[in-house]
Amino acid sequence: MREKKCFEQYEDIKRFRESLKNNHTILHIEDHGAGSKVFKTNARKVSDILKYNSSDKKSAQLLFRLCQYFEIENVLELGTSLGVATHAMAIANPDIKITSVEGSSQIHEFSSSQFKDLGLNNVNSICSTFKKHLALDKTTYDLIYIDGHHDGAATIAYFESCLNRAHRNTVFVLDDIYWSAGMTAAWDQLCKHSQVTASVDLFDLGILFLRTEQLQERFYIKL
Ligand SMILES: C[S@@+](CC[C@H](N)C(=O)[O-])C[C@H]1O[C@@H](n2cnc3c(N)ncnc32)[C@H](O)[C@@H]1O
């Protein structure tokens, strides 16, 4: 997890982030989540969404490595935003397929066009609320990344709902586990969940495993 090797794909991750940093297009957001701690209006510059709402370089690289290490083939991402993590995961393996869900239509349109420009044919970008999508999607996923609607009760409900799309080796990744008291409590509850065995606390991201050969144990790693 603390791999120091510099993968050549890190340059692609950097380039994509740089292009978003220099993009000042204004997008109008529909908020389906827990609101923003930073933005006061629903009109937001792409460069600001990158700064405040997107995976940072370390998290994007970690998601890339997780997908490579576990030879992940099928990913569900709840919360596409500009597609920083989607892109990092999509370039991890030649056979990987990503389903990424975004509820805000202008953000969805923007990230979909980015994926097209980047030639990412393995990304299925869906405009929907998480709840509506999970009611329809019956696919089984190897990695499920929950990164949106940072409300404790909602996060637990999405996790429970995603369990029906998981197998024993599915890896769950949650972002912003310390975003609020509610998220912190939800993370603690999920680590103790009867179907969760190992949990890894990366002090921003959290990883949950269901593998039954492992006893329930909590690990803490500073990236
Ligand atoms: C933190 S951002 C995702 C960041 C992205 N995964 C990345 O790595 O850069 C969360 C996104 O989830 C979307 N979102 C929040 N709650 C949602 C919901 N209930 N249904 C659909 N989309 C939602 C927001 O519009 C926002 O774009």
Kindly list the averaged pLDDT for each block of 10 residues, start to end, along the chain of length 223: 80 98 95 75 94 95 97 98 98 96 98 97 98 97 97 97 97 97 98 97 96 89 83
Question: 129: CA distance to ligand 1 center in Å?
Answer: 9
82 touches 20 (CB < 8 A): yes
What's the order of all strands across the beta sheet hosting 141-146? 123-127, 97-102, 74-78, 141-146, 166-174, 206-209, 198-201, 217-220
Q: Residue 41: what pLDDT?
A: 82
Residue 177: DSSP 8-state: T
Q: Residue 86: what pLDDT?
A: 98
Q: What is the pLDDT of residues 38-79, one digit of tens each?
A: 777 889 999 999 999 999 999 999 999 999 999 999 999 999
Q: Please give the C-alpha separations between residue 216 and each of 111, 197, 207, 212, in angstroms, as whole numbers.
A: 38, 4, 13, 9
Q: What is the pTM of this model?
A: 0.96
Q: How far is Cα of residue 73 from the mean position of the Cα atoms in its chain?
A: 15
Q: Which numeric CATH code is attached to 9-220?
A: 3.40.50.150
Q: What are the extents of the domains in the chain? A: 9-220
Q: How far is Cα of residue 169 from the mean position of the Cα atoms in its chain?
A: 18
67 touches 7 (CB < 8 A): no
Number of the ligand 1 atom closest to the C-alpha atom of 50: 9
Question: 102: CA distance to ligand 1 center in Å?
Answer: 6
Q: Is the dihedral of CA 79, 81, 84, 88 positive or negative?
A: positive
